[in-house]
Every structure is written in structure tokens, then in C-alpha cells.
Structure 1
Amino acid sequence: MTTREALCAILISILLVTAGLVWLLGPYGLIGGGVAVLLMTLFTDKKEDADG
């Protein structure tokens, strides 16, 4: 996964997870969304771009 793909995936996950959890759980959904994004960021396998 390149850096650009990882950033796009993280952005989409932020939107989907936060929207879904806030809808279901209210304010606790924001905390869960933040934790999910943090974990995804930490465990994303990053490799260098082909042109970099």
C-alpha cells in the first residue's frame, strides 16, 4: 500500500466509522472512531511510492 492509498483509506475510514458510531452510540461513537483511526494509522503497512 502506497502512502497515497493509505491516506485515502484512512480518510474514508474516519468518515465511515465516525458517522456510523455516532449514529449508533452518540458521543461514545466519537471516542470509538478516534481509537479505530489511531489503530489503523499505527498498523498500516507503508511502503515507498514508486516515484519517490
Structure 2
Amino acid sequence: MGAPDVSFTAGQLTRLGEASAIRLGFRHDILASDHIRTVTAGDLTIESRRTPDSVSAA
């Protein structure tokens, strides 16, 4: 099995990532748009209660 010996250059990894990227499509694009996010959530934001200490402890 020679697969563990395979290594890629940064350029090859970039090309591989671009070639294998999955386009999520119309519904995702619409729901992620600024207009729809504003209509559904308004100016609401959620304030994070996490502190750097609680994140590293998790």
C-alpha cells in the first residue's frame, strides 16, 4: 500500500479542493443572502457567553 507515502504540493491541494467542492445551490444561496437574513432575523444578534477559558476547556 503506497497511499501513505503520497504527498501533495500546496497548489495541488488547492486544485483538489476546487475540483471536489460541492455547490450547495439555489436554496442555500437564497437563505444565506443578506436580504433574507435581514428579513428573517432583523437586527437581532446573539451575544456569545463563551470566554476564551471556557472554549479551551471544552
Scaled by the length of structure 1, the TM-score of the pair is: 0.26
Larger Rg: 2
Scaled by the length of structure 2, the TM-score of the pair is: 0.24
Considering fraction of residues, name the structure with more helix. 1
Larger RCO of the pair (alpha carbons < 8 Å, separation 6+):
1
